[in-house]
Amino acid sequence: MIYIYGAGGHGKVAFHTLTQSGTQIQNFIDDKARGELCGISILSPTQIQDLYPYAIHFAIGNNAIRSRLQSEWNRLGIPAETAIHPRSTIYPGAKIGAGSLITAGTIIGSDTRIGDGCIINHNAVVDHDCVIGDFCHIAPAATLGGGVTLGRECLIGAGATILPYLTIGHNVTVGAGAVVTKNLPDNVTVVGCPARPK
């Protein structure tokens, strides 16, 4: 059985990504929402805890919360389900971590490594030989040139560009449309072209 944790807009994207791949979703799980989404019921986490075996895709946009939830459930023995849309392009040698979401139109270049729990959103490009840390979010239409390295829990905004072979630290936010032209340390937010600290 496969559940989706998160009954919001991102949950809908995960639902359609998984169902387009032929995966049947049992229910959504949410801490607050109830009712239905995409024609299936929304349950609380406590309602599924004893229904083994099952896997969960964590459809939470916030990187830190997604990391915490996936790690907590993994410690309980619940695996994270990976969602890859059939209209994404994944080149030979690329590796996708557990629980990641690869949406429609995404291009993952050859020999790229995507960490656990990442979101590679619509029409994003992560070119050859990139290394993407766990629980990063690459927003729609963002482009990472070949050989880019991202630390954990980075957010690369919609339409942003990171030039090839740069190294980005942990917990970095790159604003929408920004162009990153040099390496970035941990825990910074950058905006603009060229990207500068906010």
pTM, 2 dp: 0.96
Given 16, 122, 128, 170, which residue is catalytic? 128
- The residue type of 120 is I
Q: Where are the beta strands (DSSP E) in 52-159?
A: 55-58, 83-84, 89-90, 95-96, 101-102, 107-108, 113-114, 119-120, 125-126, 131-132, 137-138, 143-144, 149-150, 155-156
- Which tokens sit at 162? 């990171």
Q: Is 186 annotated as a binding residue?
A: no
Q: Is 61 annotated as a binding residue?
A: yes
Q: Is 137 annotated as a binding residue?
A: yes
Q: Tens digits of per-residue pLDDT, 59-93?
A: 999 999 999 999 999 998 999 999 999 999 999 99
Above 80 in pLDDT, residue 51? Answer: no
Q: Where in the chain is the domain with CATH 3.40.50.20?
A: 2-75
CATH of domain 82-187: 2.160.10.10
Q: Is 128 a catalytic residue?
A: yes
Q: Is 57 annotated as a binding residue?
A: no
Q: Tens digits of per-residue pLDDT, 93-125?
A: 999 999 999 999 999 999 999 999 999 999 999
Residue 61: Cβ within 10 Å count: 17
Q: Where in the chain is the domain with CATH 2.160.10.10?
A: 82-187
In CATH, which of 3.40.50.20, 3.30.360.10, 3.40.50.300, 3.90.1200.10 is domain 2-75? 3.40.50.20
Nearest 10 degrees: Cα torsion 70, 151, 187, 160: -100
